[in-house]
Amino acid sequence: MIENTVTDRISLLIGQHEELKSISNTAQKLIFTATRPVMKELISQLFKLTEEHVKQEEEILLPLLKEMYYSDAQEISGFIIDEHNQIRKQLMVLMDSMDSFDEHDTEWAHSIQCVLINQLAHIFEEEQVLFPLIKKHFSQKSSHLRHLN
């Protein structure tokens, strides 16, 4: 069934979101107290997982969106890719600045918070808006196909 495959794929992405949220929450809690090596490790984990997640998300979501929105697929896909690129770029800037940041620099801590908030907002949008739309579309499509048979 189409619906089950879509649900399984989205469940995989949600599982990755849970890992990203866990690392983000840990980083937020430790942002003003962690040593440089601890923050570097957390940001590194977040960066690596984000890279893996973005790749899978684009492989899974973009074809589904293309099927759903034919004429608007390019625009919607472009928006998702732009958001992913923005988050990756922000994480790369953090990674590049890890060796030079002062553990007591509130501006650097604020930069980390902004990146984490942006990523969590992106995850929220996907889980609350995009994923339910995709599930609903393919559920209706599956139901329609069952009625045809």
- pTM listed for this prediction: 0.83
Asked whether residue 27 is assigned to any structural domain, the reply reads no
Asked whether residue 26 is assigned to any structural domain, the reply reads no
Asked whether residue 30 is assigned to any structural domain, the reply reads no
- The angle at the Cα of 35, spanning 33 to 36, to the nearest 5 degrees, equals 130
Mean pLDDT of the chain: 85
Q: Is the pLDDT of residue 48 over 90?
A: yes
Asked whether residue 63 is assigned to any structural domain, the reply reads yes
Asked whether residue 97 is assigned to any structural domain, the reply reads yes
Token pair in block for residue 149 = 């048979």
Token pair in block for residue 85 = 């690129």
Q: How does pLDDT run across 94-144, given as a tens digit for each residue?
A: 888 887 767 677 888 888 899 999 999 999 999 998 899 888 888 887 665
| Cα separation, 141 vs 79, whole angstroms | 25
Cβ neighbours, 10 Å, residue 93: 11
| Cα separation, 35 vs 32, whole angstroms | 9
Asked whether residue 54 is assigned to any structural domain, the reply reads yes
Percent of the chain residues past pLDDT 70, beyond the cut:
87
Q: Is the pLDDT of residue 33 over 90?
A: no
Domain that includes residue 107, residue range:
2-9+37-148
pLDDT at res. 1: 44
Token pair in block for residue 94 = 């953090």
| Cα separation, 26 vs 62, whole angstroms | 30
Q: How does pLDDT run across 16-28, given as a tens digit for each residue?
A: 999 999 999 999 9
Overall domain count for the chain: 1
Asked whether residue 110 is assigned to any structural domain, the reply reads yes
pLDDT at res. 73: 62
Asked whether residue 94 is assigned to any structural domain, the reply reads yes
